[in-house]
Amino acid sequence: MIMALSFSLRTIIITAFVLLTTTASSSSPHGFTFDLIHRRSNTSSLRPSTDDYGSPYANTVFDSESSEYLMKIQIGTPPVEIEAMIDTGSHLIWTQCLPCQSCYNQVAPIFDPSKSSTYKPRRCKTHDHSCPYELVYAGKSYTKGTYVSETVTIQSTSGQPFVMPETLIGCGHNNSGLVSTTSGIVGLNWAATSLTSQMGERFLGLLSYCFSGTGTSKINFGANAIVAGDGTVAADMFRKTNFPDFYYLNLDAISVGDNRIEMLGTSFYATDGNMIIDSGTTYTFLPGSYLEQVKAAVESVVTADRAPYSDALCYYSNTIEIFPVITMHFSGGADLVLYNNNMYVDKGGIFCLALMDADPIHMAVFGNRAQNNFLVGYDPSSMVVSFKPTDCSTLF
């Protein structure tokens, strides 16, 4: 899930970076694994956006198909447990906080800073020394509040808690647009305010996760996040100056069966990153002209009857096996063969191609559905994203 920021807000965030101190627990080992919870939303998914906040799924066949992955974290002293969505397209850990000017309903109690002995407001160079933030996500979701310092605790699968004192988080007092199962967001991108960065230098920014379509999934940090072994493919990872906190891949081509559709010669072609990999966006977005070529290649293979949806390529079928295998070819020699469930949505007798149009305003995104049942690892030191085919539901 990708956010849009104004120039003035970027200035405030930079100020906050100066004040940030990263202090992970000194007794912690260099690697941790945490459980994730897969949730499906009945609301429209949140569209990746740079400056337009419209929902991509409003009035489309994909309206109720949003997927999100949540992790339990504890905030404050004594600790209050919340469930927050993990998001490699976001830079901040935030949760709803009292007093609420306007908060959406959530399942867990809203965090009350007055009851925490470790809560400290951050000070910025504003007229009242407060440190405000405002983040607008695509789909018109937003959070407004203040940067604060607080203790964040996460329970690892080994039973050992990972404690992060004096962590910079956002205390949201005016929030809208997320679903009630979600108390906030855990940002995981390059930024200094993300969870990954605030874990400390010993973890080297190493991050991996394994998304199961149902049930419990896993997220790993540090030594536990290394992805290697049989079947692993590694794609080059890029940073771009205009959006330096996102993780970029470079898509060279897509194969539909044996039909390889090259990016070379299109306006989308690049050698320094042309697609964001994002855990907080459900579907994969491609530029419209290139998407049409991929759709045409699928149509040339599938012989089933078309279902009457104008906004998606859908067919009547009682089996997913009629559809061609789709392979993403990323720079670095990573030929990622996707499972049919990654690329086709089963709507009960109708299957739809799970690719969407990234119009000229919006970014191309490799979403979380396409990443299901891969162990996906981010290695900033080597600048690669690795993919290892894995039955994520069997990980313990």
Q: Which residues are catalytic?
A: 87, 278
Amino acid at position 60, single letter? T
How far apart CA 38 and CA 156 sit, in angstroms, is 17
Residue whose token pair is 């998407």: 291
User: Which three-class secondary structure state does DSSP give residue 195?
Assistant: helix
In a 10 Å sphere around its CB, with 0-12 CB exposed, 13-18 middle and 19+ buried, how is residue 35 labelled? middle
**Phi-psi map region of 384: left, alpha, beta (phi>0 left; psi -120 to 50 alpha):** beta
Q: Are 124 and 313 in contact (CB under 8 A)?
A: no
Beta strands in 204-313 (DSSP E): 207-210, 216-222, 233-236, 248-249, 251-256, 259-262, 275-277, 284-287
CA atoms within 13 A on the CB side of 269: 7
Contacts of 276 (CB under 8 A, 6+ apart): 2, 48, 89, 243, 246, 247, 248, 249, 363, 364, 365, 366
For residue 263 the two structure tokens come to 């990016």
Q: Where is 310: in which H helix or E strand?
A: none
Strands 31-41 and 216-222, by their bridges, are: antiparallel
What are residue 212's phi and psi, to 5 degrees?
A: -95, 145
